[in-house]
C-alpha cells in the first residue's frame, strides 16, 4: 500500500514567487509519481494467476513479487524521510522517482520469477525514497491559505491510482499477459523521470534549514532485517516441508532477534525513527493496532479473491477489476463525510462502526460460490468500502490527536509505515495459508487415492484432479472461504481496539490477539467440519460420475477411460509422437520455447481440460486472438493426426515434469 502521509521533516514557508506554469509543472511531477506508485498496490495482485502460469512458478514464490516490494518500501521509509533533511526533499524525490521508474521498466522484461522479485525489491526501495516527500513538497508549492487544495490534489491522485488499477489491469490481462501491466507504464515512467529532474529548478530549497544532529541508520537497518525475517517465516515455514529446514527457522528466529534489537536501539537513540514513548499512550496504541489490523485483513480481497474470480470462476479480468474498484470508489465517496460524522458522534464511534461494516463485507464473502452472480460480488465490496470510508479518517485523527503537538508530524509519518507493515504481514500469512492448504489437500487426496477404494470415491477424486486438482474451482472456493475466516479474525483485532472507551493495554492487548487467533482457528475447524472437501462434496460439484460395475477399483484405473495420473508413465512411443508434432514450439520436454510455445507442463489451461477435451483442442487448434491464448500465437489444427497419435501426445504431456 502506498504511503500518502506528510514527512516528518520540517516544512519551510511556501514560495509565493512561483508562476502558475511552474506550480503546475511541479504538481505534475508529484502527481505522476504518486499515481504510478498507487497503481502498483492494485495492479500486481490481479496478475498473479498469469504470472504463475507464464513464469512457471508457484503461489509461494509469486507472492514475493508483492512481499519483496513491501519490505523494501516499508523498512527504510521513516529513516529515509529524515535523510531528506540532509540531502533535501527535492533531491530525494528526484532520486527515488528515478530508481522506482527504472526498476518498473526493467520488470517488463524480467525473464524469470527470481529476476522479477529482485527488480520489485529495487522498485520498492525507490518508492521508500521518494514517496514520503510528495505531500510535503506539494504544501510548499501553494501558499499557506491554499495548502488544503494541495493536499486534496495529492489525495485524489493516490485514490485515482488505487481505483483505476484493477480496471486497467483487467483490460490489459484480458488482451495480453502480466508483462503488460509494467510495459504500458513505460512512457509514464520516462516522463516521471524527466519532469522530476526539470520541474523544480531553484524554485524550492534543495535541503531544509533545520537538520537533526544524528540519524538512526542502525534502527532502519535492524527494522528492515527484522521485518524480512518475520515475513519470511510467516510465509515459508507452513509451506511444503520448510518446517524441517533449519535455515528457514534460523531466518525466522533472526527476525525476532533483530526486531528486539531494533526496540533496544530506538530506546537509546537520540533521534529514533519510531519514538516508542508514543505507545505509552493507550489511545494511540489502540488506534495504531486497529489501523494495522485493518490493512492486515486486506489480502483476502486484493490477493485471494482475484485468483478465485479469474481462475476459478473464469470471470474476465476487466470485470474483476470493476468489482474490486467498487470498494475504493465507495471509500472515496464516504470518506469526505466521515470527518463530519466523527465530529458529531466521536472518532472512536465512527471507527467502530467502520470495522463492523468491513466485517459484514467479509462475512458476506462466505456466500460466494461458483454460481454467484457478478452483481452479488458488489455487495461485499460496497460494504467493505463503506467500512474503510468510515474508519480511515477518524482513525488517523485519533493517531494525531493522541500525541504531543511537537510529535504530530512524526506520528503522521508513521501512518504509512503501519499501513504497509500491516498489509505485508497479512499478505505473508494468507499466501502461506493458501499454499499450505493446496499442499495438504493434494498430499492427502493423493495418498488416499492410491489404495483400493469404492468406485464412486475413486471416480470423483479422479475427476477432481482432472478438472484442475488444487487449482480446481471447488478447491479455490474452499480456500477463499478459509482465508475470509482468517482475515475476519484479523479484523476482529481492529474491532476490539475501536470499541469506544474500552481500555486495552498490556495484557489485555495480548488477550485480544489470542482471542482473535482462537476465533480464526475455531472458524476454520467449524468450516472444515461442515464443508469438508471429500468425495461427498466433490460428487456434488464435479461432473456426474459415469456408472461402473466394479465394486472396488484403483483410483484412475478405470477400464473404460484413461484418467490423468500425476507422474504416470507414458507409453514408450509417446515421446516420439510429441517430438515429431509439437517440439518445434514446445521443446522436447514440453516446457515451451521462448516466443514459440507455452510451457505445457505448468499450463493451467492444459490441466483444466480432461483428455477428451484436450484431444478436441489439439484437433481444432486456436487462433492468436482467442481469450484463452496467453502467448497470442497461432495454435495450428492437428486434425490430420490419428486418435492414437493424439492420445500418445497427451500421455507424454501428462507425464512430463
Q: Are residues 390 and 429 in the same domain?
A: yes
Q: Are residues 170 and 312 in the same domain?
A: no
Cα angle 545, 548, 549 (rounded to 5 degrees) comes to: 155
SS (H, E, C) 534-580: CHHHHHHHCCCCCCCCCCEEECCCCCCCCCCCCCCCCCCCHHHHHHH
pLDDT at 234 over 50: yes
Q: What pLDDT sits at residue 3?
A: 42
Mean pLDDT over 341-363 rounds to 89
Q: Are residues 10 and 85 in the same domain?
A: yes
Q: What pLDDT sits at residue 1?
A: 45
Residue 453's SS3 state is strand
pLDDT at 568 over 50: no
Mean pLDDT over 588-593 rounds to 80
pLDDT at 355 over 50: yes
Q: Are residues 180 and 132 in the same domain?
A: yes
Length of the chain: 657
Report CA torsion sign: 502, 507, 510, 515: negative
- 563 located within any domain: no
- 377 located within any domain: yes
Residue 593's SS3 state is strand
- 567 located within any domain: no
Q: What pLDDT sits at residue 461?
A: 57
pLDDT by residue (tens digit) across 188-232? Answer: 999 999 998 888 876 555 544 455 556 677 887 888 888 788 877
Q: Where is pLDDT greater, at 562 or 533?
A: 533
Among 197, 215, 233, residue at a domain's last position:
215
pLDDT at 36 over 90: no
Among 199, 215, 231, residue at a domain's last position:
215
Q: Are residues 302 and 194 in the same domain?
A: no
Q: What pLDDT sits at residue 618?
A: 84
Q: Are residues 334 and 294 in the same domain?
A: yes
Q: Are residues 55 and 67 in the same domain?
A: yes
Paired with 635 in beta bridges are 622
Mean pLDDT over 281-301 rounds to 87
pLDDT by residue (tens digit) across 149-186? Answer: 665 576 667 667 766 776 777 778 777 888 888 888 89
Mean pLDDT over 41-55 rounds to 77
454 membership: H or E segment, kind and range: strand 452-454
Mean pLDDT over 561-566 rounds to 35
Q: What pLDDT sits at residue 460?
A: 57
What does the longest C-alpha to C-alpha distance in the chain come to? 90
The per-type count for the chain, helices as H runs and strands as E runs, is 28, 2
Does the pTM exceed 0.85?
no
Q: Are residues 628 and 650 in the same domain?
A: yes
- 564 located within any domain: no
One-character DSSP codes across 219-278: HHHHHHHHHHHHHHHHHHTTSTTGGG-HHHHHHHHHHHHHHHHHHHHHHH-SS-SS-GGG
Q: Are residues 229 and 199 in the same domain?
A: no
**Environment class of 55 (CB within 10 Å of its CB; exposed 0-12, middle 13-18, buried 19+):** buried
Confidence band, pLDDT 50/70/90 cuts, at residue 560: very low
pLDDT at 109 over 50: yes
Query: How many domains does the structure of the chain reveal?
Result: 4
Q: Are residues 588 and 634 in the same domain?
A: yes
Mean pLDDT over 367-377 rounds to 89
SS (H, E, C) 86-108: HHCHHHHHHHHHHHHHHHHHHHC
Q: What pLDDT sits at residue 447?
A: 57
pLDDT at 569 over 50: no
**Environment class of 631 (CB within 10 Å of its CB; exposed 0-12, middle 13-18, buried 19+):** middle
Q: What pLDDT sits at residue 155?
A: 63
Q: What pLDDT sits at residue 34?
A: 82
Q: What pLDDT sits at residue 187?
A: 92
CA-to-CA dists, residue 291 to 48, 262, 426, 505, angstroms: 26, 22, 13, 16
Helices 611-620 and 643-655 cross at an angle (nearest 10°) of 120
Q: What pLDDT sits at residue 102?
A: 95
Distance between CA atoms of residues 75 and 275, nearest Å: 15
Give the residue numbers spanning the domain of 194.
1-215
Mean pLDDT over 76-103 rounds to 83
Distance between CA atoms of residues 581 and 570, nearest Å: 16
- 565 located within any domain: no
Q: Where is pLDDT greater, at 211 or 49?
A: 49
Residue 6 near residue 135 (C-beta atoms within 8 A): yes
Q: What pLDDT sits at residue 471?
A: 64
Average pLDDT, whole number, for the chain?
Answer: 76
Q: What pLDDT sits at residue 566?
A: 37
Q: Are residues 609 and 529 in the same domain?
A: no
Q: What pLDDT sits at residue 314?
A: 78
pLDDT at 136 over 60: yes
- 550 located within any domain: no
Q: Where is pLDDT greater, at 445 or 615?
A: 615
Q: What pLDDT sits at residue 358?
A: 93
- 552 located within any domain: no
Could you tell me the CATH number of the domain that includes residue 86? Answer: 1.20.1250.20
Confidence band, pLDDT 50/70/90 cuts, at residue 9: very low
Among 508, 525, 545, residue at a domain's last position:
545
Mean pLDDT over 454-473 rounds to 57
Mean pLDDT over 57-72 rounds to 80
Q: Are residues 227 and 357 in the same domain?
A: no
Q: What pLDDT sits at residue 412?
A: 66
How many C-beta atoms surround the C-beta of residue 367 within 10 A?
11
Residue 622's SS3 state is strand
- 421 located within any domain: yes
Could you tell me the CATH number of the domain that includes residue 637? Answer: 1.10.760.10
Grid cell 511552474 is found at: 22
Amino acid at each position: 500500500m502506498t504511503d500518502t502521509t506528510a514527512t516528518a521533516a520540517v516544512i519551510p514557508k511556501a514560495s509565493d514567487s512561483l508562476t502558475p506554469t511552474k506550480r503546475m509543472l511541479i504538481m505534475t511531477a508529484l502527481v505522476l509519481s504518486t499515481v504510478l506508485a498507487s497503481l502498483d498496490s492494485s495492479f500486481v495482485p490481479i496478475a498473479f494467476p498469469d504470472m504463475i502460469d507464464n513464469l512457471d512458478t508457484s503461489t509461494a514464490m509469486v507472492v514475493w513479487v508483492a512481499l519483496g516490494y513491501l519490505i523494501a518500501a516499508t523498512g527504510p521509509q521513516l529513516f529515509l524521510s529524515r535523510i531528506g533533511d540532509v540531502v533535501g526533499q527535492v533531491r530525494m524525490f528526484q532520486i527515488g522517482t528515478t530508481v522506482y521508474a527504472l526498476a518498473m521498466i526493467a520488470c517488463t522484461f524480467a525473464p524469470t520469477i527470481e529476476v522479477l522479485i529482485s527488480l520489485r525489491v529495487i522498485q520498492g526501495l525507490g518508492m521508500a525514497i521518494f514517496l514520503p516527500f510528495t505531500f510535503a513538497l506539494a504544501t510548499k508549492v501553494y501558499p499557506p491559505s491554499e495548502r488544503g487544495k494541495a493536499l486534496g490534489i495529492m489525495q485524489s491522485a493516490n485514490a485515482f491510482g488505487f481505483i483505476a488499477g484493477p480496471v486497467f489491469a483487467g483490460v490489459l490481462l484480458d488482451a495480453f499477459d502480466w508483462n503488460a501491466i509494467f510495459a504500458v507504464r513505460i512512457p509514464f515512467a520516462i516522463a516521471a523521470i524527466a519532469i522530476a529532474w526539470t520541474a523544480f529548478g531553484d524554485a524550492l530549497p534543495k535541503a531544509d534549514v533545520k537538520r537533526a544532529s544524528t540519524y538512526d541508520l542502525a534502527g532502519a537497518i535492524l527494522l528492515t532485517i527484522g521485518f524480512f525475517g518475520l515475513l519470511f517465516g510467516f510465509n515459508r515455514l507452513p509451506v511444503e516441508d520448510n518446517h524441517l529446514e533449519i535455515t528457514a527457522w534460523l531466518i525466522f528466529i533472526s527476525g525476532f532477534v533483530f526486531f528486539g534489537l531494533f526496540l533496544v536501539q530506538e530506546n537509546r537513540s537520540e533521534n529514533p525513527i519510531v519514538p516508542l514513548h508514543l505507545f505509552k499512550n493507550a489511545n494511540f496504541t489502540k488506534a495504531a493496532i486497529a489501523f494495522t489490523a485493518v490493512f492486515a485483513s486486506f489480502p483476502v480481497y486484493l490477493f485471494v479473491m482475484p485468483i478465485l474470480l479469474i481462475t476459478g470462476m473464469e470471470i474476465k479480468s476487466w470485470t474483476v477489476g470493476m468489482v474490486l474498484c467498487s470498494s475504493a470508489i465507495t471509500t472515496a465517496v464516504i470518506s469526505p463525510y466521515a470527518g463530519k460524522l466523527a465530529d458529531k458522534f466521536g472518532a472512536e464511534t465512527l471507527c467502530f462502526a467502520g470495522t463492523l461494516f468491513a466485517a459484514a463485507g467479509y462475512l458476506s464473502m462466505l456466500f460466494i460460490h461458483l454460481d454467484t452472480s457478478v452483481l452479488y460480488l458488489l455487495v461485499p465490496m460496497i460494504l467493505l468500502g463503506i467500512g474503510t470510508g468510515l474508519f480511515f479518517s477518524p482513525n488517523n485523527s485519533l493517531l494525531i490527536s493522541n500525541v504531543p503537538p511537537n510529535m504530530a508530524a512524526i506520528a503522521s509519518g508513521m501512518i504509512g509505515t503501519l499501513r504497509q507493515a500491516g498489509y505485508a504481514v497479512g499478505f505473508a500469512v494468507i499466501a502461506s495459508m493458501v499454499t499450505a492448504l493446496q499442499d495438504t489437500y493434494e498430499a492427502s487426496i493423493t495418498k488416499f487415492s492410491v489404495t483400493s477404494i469404492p468406485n464412486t470415491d475413486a471416480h470423483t477424486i479422479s475427476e477432481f484432479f482432472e478438472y484442475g486438482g488444487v487449482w480446481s474451482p471447488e478447491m479455490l472456493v474452499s480456500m477463499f472461504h478459509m482465508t475470509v475466516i482468517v482475515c475476519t479474525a484479523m479484523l476482529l483485532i481492529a474491532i476490539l481496539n475501536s470499541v469506544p472507551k474500552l481500555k486495552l493495554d498490556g495484557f489485555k492487548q495480548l488477550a485480544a490477539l489470542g482471542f482473535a487467533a482462537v476465533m480464526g482457528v475455531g472458524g476454520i475447524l467449524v468450516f472444515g467440519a461442515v464443508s469438508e472437501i471429500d468425495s461427498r462434496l466433490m460428487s456434488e460439484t464435479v461432473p456426474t460420475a459415469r456408472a461402473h460395475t466394479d465394486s472396488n477399483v484403483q483410483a484412475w484405473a478405470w477400464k473404460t477411460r484413461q484418467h490423468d495420473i500425476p507422474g504416470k508413465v507414458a507409453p514408450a512411443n509417446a515421446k516420439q509422437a510429441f517430438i515429431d508434432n509439437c517440439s518445434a514450439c514446445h521443446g522436447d520436454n514440453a516446457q515451451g520455447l521462448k516466443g514459440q510455445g507455452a510451457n505445457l507442463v505448468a499450463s493451467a489451461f492444459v490441466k483444466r481440460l480432461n483428455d477428451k477435451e484436450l484431444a478436441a483442442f489439439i484437433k481444432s487448434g486456436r487462433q492468436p486472438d482467442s481469450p484463452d491464448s496467453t502467448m497470442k500465437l497461432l495454435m495450428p489444427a492437428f486434425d490430420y493426426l490419428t486418435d492414437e497419435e493424439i492420445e500418445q501426445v497427451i500421455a507424454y504431456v501428462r507425464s512430463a515434469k
